[in-house]
Amino acid sequence: MSDSVASTDDSAEPATAVPPAVVLVEPQLGENIGTAARAMANFGLDDLRLVNPRDGWPSEKAVAAASGAAHVIERVRVFETTEAAIADLGLVLATTARARGFHRPVLGPEGAAARALALPADTRAGILFGRERWGLNNDEVALADAIVTYPVDPRFASLNIAQAVLLFSYEWRRQATGAALPFEAFPTAPPASKQALVGLFEHLEAALEPTGYFRPPEMRPVMVRNLRTLLQDAGLTETQVHLLRGVVAHLEGRRGRPIRDRATKDDGEE
Amino acid sequence: MSDSVASTDDSAEPATAVPPAVVLVEPQLGENIGTAARAMANFGLDDLRLVNPRDGWPSEKAVAAASGAAHVIERVRVFETTEAAIADLGLVLATTARARGFHRPVLGPEGAAARALALPADTRAGILFGRERWGLNNDEVALADAIVTYPVDPRFASLNIAQAVLLFSYEWRRQATGAALPFEAFPTAPPASKQALVGLFEHLEAALEPTGYFRPPEMRPVMVRNLRTLLQDAGLTETQVHLLRGVVAHLEGRRGRPIRDRATKDDGEE
């Protein structure tokens, strides 16, 4: 994907919904803060909040790891408590990889993003991510309206913070923008007219006639039908029909050559 | 999320569909091969193929970066050409971050996973990821049935290979398993009976009566309705109703204390 590394396009339509806040609770490594910031930026999130980052803030390692997501790093706010970090939010989600026995809905990233997008305009949601070592504690999870976990293969369930942030951010933007992609398919040419197709059928059949392809003669109708079905279903454009007629014409040209050459070219059918 | 790092569960149901192959074309850094393998393992993919890895294979850096996804690393196959790497596949997808002007459908990870899952049983799909520097070349993209790109914010479109592999793998597993999550919500207790609710209403209203809360008297019906609406909509369980009645009973208890104390506690309403 990195042919996109350089690509920046300020004319881009930002998603209209309020992007959720990402709250990292007591993150231990500055590098993880940076890669989380970068993952947010990929999908249009920019409100990153830290609760008691172990190594303090600002962090050179975070800036380095954010590799370009400076607009997110510069906006980072640091809080002393999780309660303070979520004070202005209308919906709080808590990520956890283990069942905690809370009477809370358990959502995947898809459902979590949908909950955030269902909020009234100007109401911001936030999602809590826990410590690298042991995640969120139960009091922190209890602050949340819903628990978020990921549809991982339980045989290899480990997601790092940046991956977890990336998947939630992806789901949020996918739903917020109706899965808008940065570019569209090159407009497809219209299908060939039936007249052009029938012209190709008849040209090919005429070219095959003298080669002994249609043997035994009683099989001819079936063989013709199979060829026409193949070409019919190929979804050819007008241009592609012309292309194939050129190919047939050149193969036909071979008919002029010495018998020996012909014989081999035609799998010795004559 | 890393309270999941240790979690492994061999009783896990694997997805039933054939997981797509991930083909890295001329990857430059062993570390990216390892992080891609790890991202695949998170979502149950295990068929990783390399076309001419720049630094050769095997790669110690790849093994280190895969941090535990040894089952994917051990299965890695190396090919000299992209054609050879995709020879056994029934559908090939090519990731690119730029429009290439091909007459090919352009899919997001969601649509790409859906195409792979729509294949007949035992038919394997594969997805091509290009070089870190400049992605896939046009001849490589031309080998694909569809182009895959990501719904990124075009103002910050850079995804590294592991992120791109992670998002595709996530979409594949999400759809292959019906978004099955590793654990479910703790079963929610049934809502309180209306009898229990009305008991709470009447207890609270009786407790408020002597405090002068219901003033002016003509407002009483509206004030009662608002309180009952609040409690009605709170979705209380039987246990929570008992909890609130205990709270009301204790607050009522305060009525026995000296006037001065009462006065302050009751905002001087008496």
Contact state of A181 with B108 under an 8 Å Cβ cutoff: yes
For residue B267, pLDDT over 50 is answered with no
Residue environment code for A232-244, b if the CB has 16+ CB neighbours within 10 A, otherwise e: eeeebbeebbeeb
- Nearest one of A86, A105, A83, A108 to A97, comparing CA atoms: A108
Query: Each residue's pLDDT tens digit in chain A (270 positions)?
Result: 444 333 344 434 455 689 999 999 999 999 999 999 999 999 999 999 999 999 999 999 999 999 889 999 999 999 999 999 999 999 999 999 888 778 789 999 999 999 999 999 889 999 999 999 899 999 999 999 999 999 999 999 889 999 999 999 999 999 999 988 988 887 778 889 999 999 999 999 999 999 999 999 999 999 999 999 999 999 899 999 999 999 999 988 854 444 444 444 444 333
In the three-class reduction of DSSP (H, G, I as helix; E, B as strand; rest coil), residue A204 is classed as helix
**Taking a C-beta distance cutoff of 8 angstroms, is the pair A50, A33 a contact?**
yes
For chain A, give every residue range classified as CATH 3.40.1280.10: 18-176
Nearest to B157 among A7, A15, A153 (CB): A7
- Nearest one of B51, B55, B46 to B25, comparing CA atoms: B51
Q: Tell me the HSE value of A103 on the side-chain side, using a 13 A CA sphere.
A: 10
Please give the Cα distance from B212 to B210 (Å, whole number).
Answer: 6
Say what the pTM is: 0.83
Nearest-5° Cα angle at B224, B218 to B227: 140
- Nearest one of B110, B139, B138, B143 to B126, comparing CA atoms: B143
Structure tokens at A265: 């070219």
Contact state of A181 with B42 under an 8 Å Cβ cutoff: no
Residue of A2, A5, A177, A238 to mutate for B, most B C-beta atoms under 10 A: A2
Fold for the domain defined by B18-176: Alpha/beta knot (3.40.1280)
User: ipTM, 2 decimals?
Assistant: 0.82
DSSP assignments along A50-77, one per residue: EES-TT-SS-HHHHHHHTT-HHHHHH-E
Contact state of B9 with A188 under an 8 Å Cβ cutoff: no
Radius of gyration of chain A (CA): 31
Chain B closest-CA separation from residue A225 CA (Å): 26
**A143-152, B29-38, B130-139, B252-261: lowest mean pLDDT where?**
B252-261
Give, in order, the Cα–Cα distances in Å from B227 to each of A96, B241, B245. Answer: 35, 14, 14
Please give the Cα distance from B249 to B179 (Å, whole number).
Answer: 46
**Taking a C-beta distance cutoff of 8 angstroms, is the pair B27, B55 a contact?**
no
Please give the Cα distance from A196 to B160 (Å, whole number).
Answer: 46
Please give the Cα distance from A214 to A14 (Å, whole number).
Answer: 61
Q: Residue B178: its chain A contacts at CB < 8 A?
A: none
**Taking a C-beta distance cutoff of 8 angstroms, is the pair A93, A126 a contact?**
yes
Q: Residue A103: its chain B contacts at CB < 8 A?
A: 185-186, 188-189
